[in-house]
Amino acid sequence: MKSASLKGIKIIITAGPTREYIDPIRFISNPSSGKMGMAIAEEGLARSADVTIVYGRGTVKPPEAAKVIDVETTEEMSEAVVRELRERHYDILIAAAACADYKPTRKEDEKIPSKQKGLMIRLEPTVKVIEEARKVDKNVFLCGFKAESGIPAEVLLARTSTRLKDVGANLMVANDISNPDSGFMTDTNEVYIIDTENRVTHVPTCTKREVAAKILDTITSKIHKKGY
């Protein structure tokens, strides 16, 4: 039965946006609400999984049955995921968070005066959560997300396939956030699910809960076949 298809399975999910601070009150972030990650968490719980959420500053309330670890920056999210993977066995990691890709090289200790005529901010890449996760756990079934904007589907799929191989993921979920029905803060999504054999499953626009169900259907099928 689907209602108990993940009984005994432990899932850790990253969700929501991260923030990278310029000074104590200003930060770099994105409009992610955390809805996709929470939909996956709710679907996992509905299938009797044990669910942990590492949650950035999203706007959606997490399900009460899940363990929730609140974080703010990408580094904090990475550290929380790595700590969980080291301290507890997880079968599945689904990295659905919209982590900030860059951060200021320096965070000012005090608020930068607002009357300055200009402000130059130097940025550097943030840590890649799924890369750090794979380093500490070679066996966890790793599902990543790849968001792009305004590119042809074939380019989106090619970039996602490359990313899957680069990080050693088992599955990647790709979407175009420039689509008004599948971007940030929407209740719907359209995605492509890509596996290690470059097989693609297109999930047309539907609710994020329905997308979550399709993702977990795919993962469940694979872990049962491979014995993850």
Pick the closest to residue 14 from 92, 94, 79, 127 (CA basis).
94
Catalytic residue, from 30, 139, 170, 189: name it: 30
CB-CB contact of 177 with 183 (8 Å): yes
Q: Which residues contact 154 (CB under 8 A, 6 or more apart)?
A: none
Listing from the earlier edge strand, what are the strands of the sheet with 10-15? 67-70, 50-55, 10-15, 92-95, 141-148, 171-176, 188-195, 200-207
Is residue 198 part of the annotated active site? The answer reads no
> Which residues contact residue 62 at a Cβ distance below 8 angstroms, ignoring those fewer than 6 apart?
15, 38, 41, 53, 55, 68
Token pair 């890509």 is found at 194
Q: Under 8 Å CB-to-CB from 224, ≥6 apart: which residues?
A: none
Helix axes 153-167, 129-136, angle to 10 degrees: 30
Alpha helices for the chain (secondary structure H): 35-46, 74-87, 129-136, 153-167, 208-226
Tokens 């670890």, located at residue: 69
Could you list the active site residues?
30
